[in-house]
Amino acid sequence: MEKDKDKAGIPHLPSRAKNKMIQILLEDLPSKVRNLVRNPKKVETEIVALKISFIKKVNKGSNIVITDLLRAGLAVIPSY
């Protein structure tokens, strides 16, 4: 079962943190839109940031942990 979780990209978290985990997928801009903007990666990142900011459970002072599916990239972002 642990191997299945690893393959699915589910992180190993304490039980109290598992209930607070939310998966947000990255936005892929359509090619027509990608060609119209100067920095498509920045636009995609801004869309994800907006999604995170509208999550009801995220308050000022909440720490946000961002990982990729392989858990290779990790960022802890304090919310102000």
Tens digit of pLDDT at every position of the chain (80 positions):
666 666 666 667 777 777 777 777 777 899 999 999 999 989 988 888 888 888 877 777 777 777 766 555 555 555 54
Tell me, what's the pLDDT at 20? Answer: 74
Q: What is this structure's pTM?
A: 0.60
* CB 74, CB 64: distance < 8 Å: no
Distances (CA, A) of 3 to 7, 13, 61, 77: 6, 15, 34, 29
* Burial class (CB within 10 angstroms; exposed 0-12, middle 13-18, buried 19+) of 12: exposed
Distances (CA, A) of 35 to 6, 31, 43, 58: 36, 6, 12, 33
Residue 50 backbone dihedrals phi, psi, to 5 degrees: -65, -40
